[in-house]
């Protein structure tokens, strides 16, 4: 079976380790986007192997099990945080007054349209308000300031695809990365609008991204300290942890990473204040109309 744009393939030279989607074909090479990890790669057509249906089902089942496990861990963590908030909001006593919460707003920029949809589905499952935007990574620095002014987000996720190439330089050279410099520029532009790390929480990066540059640019969390691949949904879980942590509490880096699928080798950051604000009393619509 011949490889075609949009088809799912693996690379023979890498022992068929990662499932890719063919983004574009030029001459004898293909531009590949990871199907489950945020990696972009080039490969000669004769190095590609089209994935058979049986193998595809097996791979997708393994990924789904991993995603479901991570989601269950987050839900357990969320339930514990909710019980703690319930207790503290009522000072440990049961009474008739109920509280309300002001949720964090998330602006999610993604270089991959399919990943963006997948991430938005998860944001909605966990109850977060999200504004998703599909942009080419190179265009993100040009658009971010206007989006921050328009959306007024509490959290920004800047992600897509990335990759380190040994042929382009050493690991400490940001020019050796496909999109890291654009992610870093986007973070810097966002920080020109809102400089404070606790007023605007930023996650930036994708697979193998230049972690140090992203943190220096002003990101609270970024990928990838060990230059490894990260899962498509990892940024969502970090955003959710910050969003559901009360603003009087800090989010340690380990707490932010523990429910991700990649962990500390692929993700890192700095201590950050939570964003959830709780108030009371909660008024029903008919009560509010009487005021």
Q: Say if residue 115 is in the same domain as residue 47.
A: no
Tell me which residue range forms the domain holding 39.
7-51
Provide the strand spans (E) within the chain: 8-11, 20-26, 29-34, 40-44, 48-50, 100-102, 105-110, 129-134, 155-159, 201-204, 221-222, 250-251, 268-269, 272-273, 277-279
Q: Say if residue 42 is in the same domain as residue 149.
A: no
Cα 124 off chain centre by: 14
Q: Is 52 helix (H, G, I), strand (E, B) or coil?
A: coil
- Per-residue confidence (pLDDT) for residue 286, from 0 to 100: 52
Q: Say if residue 156 is in the same domain as residue 37.
A: no
Instruction: Assess whether pLDDT exceeds 70 at residue 86.
Output: no
- Per-residue confidence (pLDDT) for residue 288, from 0 to 100: 45
Measure the CA angle with vertex 69, ends 73 and 222; round to 5°. 70
Residue partners of 285: CB distance under 8 A and separation at least 6: none
Return the minimum-mean-pLDDT range out of 21-25, 70-74, 209-213: 70-74
CATH of the domain at 150: 3.40.50.280
CB 25 within 8 A of CB 45: yes
Alpha-carbon gap, residue 99 to 127, rounded angstroms? 17
Q: Say if residue 197 is in the same domain as residue 124.
A: yes
Q: Is 224 helix (H, G, I), strand (E, B) or coil?
A: coil
Instruction: Assess whether pLDDT exceeds 90 at residue 186.
Output: yes
290 confidence band (pLDDT: 50, 70, 90): very low
Residue 161 lies in a domain: yes
How many domains in the chain? Answer: 2
Q: What is the mean pLDDT of residues 174-200?
A: 96
Residue 94 lies in a domain: no
Share of the chain above pLDDT 70, in %: 91
CB 247 within 8 A of CB 275: yes
Residue 174 lies in a domain: yes
Residue 261 lies in a domain: yes
Cα dihedral across residues 47, 50, 55, 57: positive or negative: positive
Instruction: Assess whether pLDDT exceeds 80 at residue 281.
Output: no
Residue 289 lies in a domain: no
> What is the residue-averaged pLDDT of the chain?
88
Q: Say if residue 26 is in the same domain as residue 159.
A: no
Return the minimum-mean-pLDDT range out of 30-44, 66-80, 225-239: 66-80
Residue 287 lies in a domain: no
Q: Is 192 helix (H, G, I), strand (E, B) or coil?
A: helix
Q: Say if residue 162 is in the same domain as residue 26.
A: no
Q: Say if residue 257 is in the same domain as residue 120.
A: yes
- pLDDT per residue as tens digits for the range 190-225: 999 999 999 999 999 999 999 999 999 999 999 999
């Amino acid at each position: 079976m011949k490889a075609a744009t949009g088809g799912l393939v693996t690379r023979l030279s890498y022992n068929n380790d990662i499932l890719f989607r063919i983004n574009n074909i030029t001459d004898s090479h293909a531009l590949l986007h990871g199907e489950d990890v945020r990696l972009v790669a080039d490969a000669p057509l004769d190095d590609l192997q089209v994935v058979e249906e049986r193998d595809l089902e097996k791979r997708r089942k393994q990924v789904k099990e991993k995603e479901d496990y991570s989601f269950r861990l987050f839900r357990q963590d969320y339930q514990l945080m909710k019980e703690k908030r319930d207790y503290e909001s009522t000072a440990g006593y049961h009474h008739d007054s109920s509280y309300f919460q002001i949720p964090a707003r998330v602006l999610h920029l993604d270089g991959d349209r399919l990943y963006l949809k997948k991430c938005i589905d998860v944001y909605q499952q966990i109850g977060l308000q999200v504004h998703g935007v599909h942009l080419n990574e190179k265009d993100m620095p040009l658009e971010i300031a206007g989006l921050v002014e328009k959306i007024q987000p509490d959290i920004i996720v800047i992600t897509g695809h990335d990759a380190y190439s040994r042929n382009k330089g050493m690991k400490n050279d940001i020019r050796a990365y496909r999109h890291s410099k654009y992610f870093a520029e986007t973070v810097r532009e966002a920080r020109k609008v809102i400089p404070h790390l606790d007023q605007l929480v930023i996650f930036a990066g994708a697979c193998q991204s230049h972690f140090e540059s992203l943190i220096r640019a002003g990101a609270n969390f970024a990928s990838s300290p060990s230059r490894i691949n990260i899962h498509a949904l990892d940024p969502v879980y970090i955003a959710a942890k910050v969003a559901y942590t009360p603003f009087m509490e800090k989010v340690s880096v380990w707490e932010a990473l523990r429910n991700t699928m990649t962990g500390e080798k692929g993700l890192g950051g700095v201590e950050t204040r939570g964003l959830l604000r709780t108030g009371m009393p909660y008024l029903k619509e008919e009560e509010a109309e009487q005021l």
